[in-house]
């Protein structure tokens, strides 16, 4: 079967390999049918393309999880499975309540809700050596985050363009080619995400005093999400400097504002549904995380971003090249 690029031109597919350790990843695909290539990236075509690429996206989601394996050690550490369990006062007023009873004041004379809230003991978990080791291993997530995002961004971009995809080869090759930019970009990206979420939670806890900052931070998070739609896609598509990638991503976040907003709303809706369904039946949330949520979010973001990148960066390049070839020929 012939394969076609985004312009409908036939391309020669690589020869199949006889065997690969990760057979599901290294096995060549069936190629891309010409009628499956989408050139109009509208709302209806999004669902058509997503349905056609769903099986590949499940594997991409697996790459996100396997590539960022240190996060699994963080989850184990936070589960307190290896921590020492003990008891501690559940409230700072515990000493006062206890003191009243010791002094003969009669704790029973105090309101029952006050005793229930401030007079009880709570369970605490103390970290052990194993816990600290788990935290140390999970810190490697800082170094895997950027390269894994770059590798998956390349695959998802090709899925949207309609080009042949060889999951494991494309993933590894892209990381090798872009790790010098992807590593610092991932550290910066992860830092911004962590600080943004920390600030949002702080303002939410003190909402009565900082409600303006809370809504401002929500707006900043939305705009930064728009920027993230473009960061890794531009990185794996063009040879640009580190700050040029960030600058272009910020420009595109505004140029494609309405497309970005639509996909941002779609991502929020998907996460809301997963959380809601997970509250009713926990396995739904677990299954969604392992087969759906990361790759689908990236697919939505790239579907919003790629048409703008193509219009303002890819198409002008080919137009200029064609003009130069015509002038050279003359």
The pLDDT score that the predictor gives to residue 23 is: 46
Report yes or no on 329 lying in a domain. Answer: no
DSSP 291-326: HTHHHHHHHHHHHHHHHHHIIIIIHHHHHHHHHHHH
- Give the mean pLDDT per block of 10 residues along the chain (330 residues): 47 46 46 64 91 93 94 85 70 59 52 53 75 91 95 95 90 95 96 94 91 94 96 94 95 94 95 89 86 94 94 79 57
One domain, residues 120 and 204: no
**Domains in the chain, number:** 2
The pLDDT score that the predictor gives to residue 227 is: 96
DSSP 47-101: HHHHHHHHHHHHHHHHHHHHHTTHHHHHHHHHTTTTSEEEEEESSTTHHHHHHHH
Element at 122 (helix H, strand E): strand 121-126
Report yes or no on 53 lying in a domain. Answer: yes
The pLDDT score that the predictor gives to residue 160 is: 93
Cβ within 8 Å of residue 320, ≥6 positions away:
none
Which pair of structure tokens corresponds to residue 82?
A: 């290896």
* Residues facing 29 on adjacent strands: none
One domain, residues 46 and 90: no
One domain, residues 60 and 104: no
The pLDDT score that the predictor gives to residue 74 is: 87
Report yes or no on 265 lying in a domain. Answer: yes
What pTM, to 2 d.p., does this model score? 0.78
CB 87 within 8 A of CB 120: no
Report yes or no on 78 lying in a domain. Answer: no
Domain boundaries, position 93: 84-126
Q: Which residue matches tokens 């963080």?
A: 74
Tell me which residue of 130, 134, 170, 136 sits closest to 153, measured CA to CA: 170
Report yes or no on 330 lying in a domain. Answer: no
Report yes or no on 201 lying in a domain. Answer: yes
Q: How far is CA 262 from CA 185, 273, 293, 300, 313, in A?
A: 25, 17, 17, 9, 22
One domain, residues 38 and 11: yes
One domain, residues 10 and 106: no
* Residues facing 84 on adjacent strands: 126
Report yes or no on 211 lying in a domain. Answer: yes
Q: What is the dihedral of CA 58, 64, 70, 76, to 10 degrees?
A: -40
Report yes or no on 133 lying in a domain. Answer: no
One domain, residues 223 and 269: yes
One domain, residues 105 and 220: no
One domain, residues 190 and 59: yes
Tell me which residue of 183, 143, 319, 158 sits closest to 233, measured CA to CA: 158
The pLDDT score that the predictor gives to residue 308 is: 92
One domain, residues 101 and 185: no
One domain, residues 263 and 316: yes
One domain, residues 116 and 160: no
One domain, residues 232 and 154: yes
CA–CA distance, 151 with 144 (Å, rounded to integer): 11
């Amino acid at each position: 079967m012939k394969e076609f690029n985004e312009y409908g031109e036939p391309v020669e597919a690589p020869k199949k390999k006889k065997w690969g350790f990760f057979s599901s990843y290294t096995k060549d695909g069936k190629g891309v049918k010409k009628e499956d290539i989408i050139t109009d990236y509208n709302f209806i075509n999004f669902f058509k393309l997503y349905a056609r690429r769903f099986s590949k996206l499940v594997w991409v989601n697996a790459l996100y999880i396997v590539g960022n394996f240190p996060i699994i050690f963080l989850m184990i550490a936070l589960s307190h499975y290896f921590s020492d369990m003990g008891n501690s006062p559940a409230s700072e007023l515990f000493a006062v309540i206890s003191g009243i009873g010791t002094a003969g004041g009669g704790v029973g004379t105090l309101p029952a809700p006050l005793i229930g809230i401030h007079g009880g003991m709570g369970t605490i978990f103390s970290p052990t050596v194993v816990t600290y080791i788990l935290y140390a291993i999970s810190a490697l997530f800082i170094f895997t985050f950027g390269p894994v995002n770059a590798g998956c961004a390349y695959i998802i971009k090709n899925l949207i363009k309609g080009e042949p995809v060889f999951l494991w080869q494309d993933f590894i090759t892209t990381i090798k080619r872009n790790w010098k930019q992807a590593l610092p970009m991932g550290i910066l990206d992860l830092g911004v995400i962590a600080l943004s979420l920390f600030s949002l939670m702080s303002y939410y806890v003190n909402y009565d005093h900082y409600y303006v900052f809370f809504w401002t931070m929500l707006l900043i998070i939305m705009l930064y999400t728009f920027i993230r739609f473009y960061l890794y896609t531009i990185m794996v598509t063009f040879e640009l400097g580190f700050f040029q990638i960030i600058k272009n991503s910020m420009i595109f976040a505004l140029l494609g504002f309405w497309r970005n907003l639509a996909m941002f709303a779609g991502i929020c809706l998907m996460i809301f549904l997963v959380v809601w369904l997970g509250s009713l039946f926990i396995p739904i949330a677990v299954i969604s995380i392992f087969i759906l949520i990361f790759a689908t979010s990236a697919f939505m973001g790239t579907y919003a971003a790629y048409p703008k990148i193509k219009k303002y960066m890819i198409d002008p390049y080919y137009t200029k090249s064609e003009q130069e070839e015509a002038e050279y020929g003359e």
